[in-house]
Amino acid sequence: MIRYSLRCSGDHGFDSWFKGADAFEALQAAGQVACPVCGSTSVTKDLMAPAVRPARSAAAATPPETTGRPDLSAPASELEAKLAELKRLIEANSEYVGMNFAAEVRAIHAGKAPGRPIHGEARPDEARAMIEEGLPVAPLPFLPARKVN
């Protein structure tokens, strides 16, 4: 396995793993290597440095911000930062009703439950049915916190 740092024609940097150099070349020629941000298939290898492990004592003395390792808890792009802010706002200003979302939406719409902002989960068939019924629902571009790895 080999990891390449890649860059698309939109100047988005990302990395990906491949079985080997030949596998990367074959996938790139077939147009199957695409940018995860913009979807461009015009992708080239970016400048890469070899991954050399420092001595244990040097690694322990090196502050995390200078190791070159990405902070995986921080947003990697402006889009991810905006999605994280949207998630924070929705979770702070609405009630999570879990898998009872479809029933709760219908109860609110019928006036059987108090009107309030809610968010939750619905199976695809339930979501489709609510949209077909004209209920005011919309899918969210993120998973609930309990389903995130």
Looking at the fold, whether 43 and 83 belong to one and the same domain comes out as no
Structural domain count, the chain: 2
> Would residue 112 count as lying in a domain?
yes
> Would residue 68 count as lying in a domain?
no
**What pairs with residue 4 in β-bridges?**
16
The whole-angstrom separation of Cα 8 and Cα 149 is: 27
16-63 confidence digits (pLDDT tens): 999 988 999 999 999 899 998 888 999 999 877 776 776 666 555 556
86-118 confidence digits (pLDDT tens): 999 999 999 999 899 999 999 999 999 999 999
> Would residue 119 count as lying in a domain?
yes
pTM (two decimals):
0.50
Q: How many CB atoms are located within 10 Å of the residue 141 CB?
A: 10
Q: DSSP label at 47?
A: P
The whole-angstrom separation of Cα 111 and Cα 147 is: 31
**Greater confidence, 72 or 60?**
72
Q: Give the domain range for residue 121.
A: 78-144
Chain-centre distance for alpha carbon 139: 15
Can you give the three-state secondary structure of 14-29, one letter per residue? EEEEECCHHHHHHHHH
